């Protein structure tokens, strides 16, 4: 596999980072998680919302004071080139990451030497069709701790603590509450509930990442399903009494949640609205819905 490293496309064996690297030592970096989807009938690979992912990448860098040393147009072009030279002809996950490139000890973000890598990877491990989850004992990071609307490498210790706790307790994933006790999101997913044919998802002010899948789902629910959808703070009890609950995310797609803290949600199966959204989302990301074709960048 080729990897993008500082303007060059190198074989994976040639890419290295020093153990002294400040980004590695303190988690000083930011990243994105992008996906490309293979369309078998068109023999085409489409990258989904590439521009929006790079927009969020720069917003992360800016909020963290971490200067990304290339323009978004360059990263856009290099991402397409990377997929081509790796001859990707299947669904793939793309990870751009910018880290502090210095090898000195003091933990600060204002370095003038930052490194950018982009690599592709398989994510077929997320195969469970429906999840049993738990509310975490860990609180979601808040705006005065680590900016929650960014994707900082170090911030994912918060997600990893919650996810690990959930898995050690026999659940598939964790749900975070905010410091005020509102529902925030999953460890690496946004959350939606369906109640009486209305959809509700927590607002940005409840310390969520402004997910790109979340945004796509809000648009498709509005325009295609014509169901009411609201951004509103949710209590833990509203989760338990929802008709349907699902996660959204680039890696996970649309994923039904059938149990929370051992309470059965709805009928304990994927609900009809979740199923409809999941199937329409799959059409959209593969470039099969012309209303959303602007979101899909062709590679070949
Ligand atoms: N929240 C967190 C903390 C995440 O890491 C992710 C994955 N990027 C999401 C939500 C979902 O965001 P997106 O739909 O943009 O992948």
Tell the residue nearest (CA) to atom 12 of ligand 1. 211
Burial class for 202, CB neighbours closer than 10 Å (0-12, 13-18, 19+): buried
Residue 145: CATH number of its domain: 3.20.10.10
Q: What number is the average pLDDT over the span 67-92?
A: 97
Is 11 a domain residue?
yes
Burial class for 295, CB neighbours closer than 10 Å (0-12, 13-18, 19+): buried
**Are 72 and 163 part of one and the same domain?**
no
Among residues 121, 155, 183, which one ends one of the domains? 121
Q: What number is the average pLDDT over the span 110-121?
A: 93
**Are 226 and 88 part of one and the same domain?**
no
pLDDT at 287: 98
The verdict on the CB of residue 297 being under 6 Å from ligand 1 is no
Q: Is the pLDDT of residue 110 over 90?
A: no
Is 97 a domain residue?
yes
Mutate to test the pocket of ligand 1, among 31, 32, 33, 95 (most ligand atoms within 8 A of CB): 33
Is 126 a domain residue?
no
- Residue-wise pLDDT for 8-59, tens only, equals 999 999 999 999 999 999 999 999 999 999 999 999 999 999 999 999 999 9
2 forms beta bridges with 11
Q: Is the pLDDT of residue 200 over 70?
A: yes
* Contact residues for 177 (Cβ-Cβ < 8 A; gap 6+): 135, 136, 139, 140, 183, 184, 236
Residue 3 CA to ligand 1 center (angstroms) comes to 23
Q: Which atom of ligand 1 is nearest to the CA of 252?
A: 16
Is 254 a domain residue?
yes
What's the token pair of residue 196?
Answer: 């009486």
Look at the pTM and tell me if it is higher than 0.95: yes
Confidence of residue 127 (pLDDT cuts 50, 70, 90): confident
> Which structural domain range is residue 108 located in?
2-121
Is 290 a domain residue?
no
E strand map for 23-149: 29-31, 34-39, 44-48, 92-100, 114-121, 131-139
Among residues 121, 148, 173, which one ends one of the domains? 121
Neighbours of 85 (CB within 10 A): 11
**Are 157 and 227 part of one and the same domain?**
yes
Residue 159 CA to ligand 1 center (angstroms) comes to 11
**Are 80 and 139 part of one and the same domain?**
no
Tell the residue nearest (CA) to atom 11 of ligand 1. 249
Q: Is the pLDDT of residue 125 over 70?
A: no
Residue 202 CA to ligand 1 center (angstroms) comes to 13
Among residues 82, 99, 121, which one ends one of the domains? 121
Is 9 a domain residue?
yes
**Are 135 and 265 part of one and the same domain?**
yes
Higher pLDDT, residue 278 or 110? 278
279, 270 in Cβ contact below 8 A? no
202, 144 in Cβ contact below 8 A? no
**Are 69 and 113 part of one and the same domain?**
yes
**Are 109 and 151 part of one and the same domain?**
no
d(C-alpha 7, C-alpha 71), whole Å: 12
**Are 36 and 59 part of one and the same domain?**
yes
Confidence of residue 112 (pLDDT cuts 50, 70, 90): confident
The verdict on the CB of residue 32 being under 6 Å from ligand 1 is no
Tell the residue nearest (CA) to atom 7 of ligand 1. 188
E strand map for 17-91: 29-31, 34-39, 44-48
Residue 188 CA to ligand 1 center (angstroms) comes to 5
Tell the residue nearest (CA) to atom 5 of ligand 1. 188
- Residue-wise pLDDT for 139-188, tens only, equals 999 999 999 999 999 999 999 999 999 999 999 999 999 999 999 999 99
DSSP state of 151: -
Residue 17: CATH number of its domain: 3.30.470.10
**Are 20 and 141 part of one and the same domain?**
no
Is 24 a domain residue?
yes
**Are 186 and 258 part of one and the same domain?**
yes
**Are 182 and 200 part of one and the same domain?**
yes
The verdict on the CB of residue 209 being under 6 Å from ligand 1 is yes
Q: Which atom of ligand 1 is nearest to the CA of 213?
A: 14
Is 53 a domain residue?
yes
**Are 6 and 24 part of one and the same domain?**
yes
CA 259, 260, 265 angle in degrees (round to 5)? 50
Neighbours of 19 (CB within 10 A): 7
Mutate to test the pocket of ligand 1, among 48, 138, 209, 253 (most ligand atoms within 8 A of CB): 209
* Contact residues for 218 (Cβ-Cβ < 8 A; gap 6+): 201, 229
Domain total of the chain = 2
């Amino acid at each position: 596999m080729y990897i993008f490293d500082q303007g060059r496309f190198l074989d994976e064996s040639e890419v290295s980072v020093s153990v002294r690297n400040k980004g590695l030592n303190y988690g000083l970096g930011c990243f994105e998680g992008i996906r490309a989807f293979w369309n078998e009938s068109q023999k085409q690979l489409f990258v989904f919302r590439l521009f929006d992912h790079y927009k969020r990448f720069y917003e992360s860098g800016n909020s963290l004071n971490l200067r990304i040393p290339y323009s978004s147009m360059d990263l856009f072009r290099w991402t397409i080139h990377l997929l081509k030279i790796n001859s990707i002809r299947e669904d793939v996950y793309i990870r751009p990451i910018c880290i502090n490139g210095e090898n000195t000890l003091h933990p600060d973000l204002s370095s003038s030497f930052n490194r950018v890598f982009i690599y592709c990877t398989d994510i077929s491990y997320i195969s469970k069709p429906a999840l049993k989850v738990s509310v975490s004992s860990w609180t979601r990071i808040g705006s005065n701790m680590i900016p929650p609307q960014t994707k900082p490498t170090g911030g994912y210790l918060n997600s990893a603590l919650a996810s690990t706790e959930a898995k050690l307790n026999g659940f598939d994933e964790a749900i975070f509450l905010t410091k005020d006790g509102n529902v925030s999101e999953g460890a690496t997913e946004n959350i939606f509930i369906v109640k009486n044919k209305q959809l509700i998802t927590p607002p940005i002010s409840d310390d969520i990442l402004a997910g790109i899948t979340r945004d796509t789902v809000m648009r498709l629910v509005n325009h295609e399903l014509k169901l009411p959808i609201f951004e509103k703070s949710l209590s833990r009890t509203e989760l338990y009494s929802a008709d349907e609950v699902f996660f959204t995310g680039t890696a996970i797609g649309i994923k039904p949640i059938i149990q929370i803290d051992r309470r059965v949600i709805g009928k304990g199966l994927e609900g009809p609205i979740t199923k409809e959204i999941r199937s329409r989302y799959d059409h959209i990301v593969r470039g099969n819905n012309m209303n959303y074709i602007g979101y899909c960048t062709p590679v070949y």
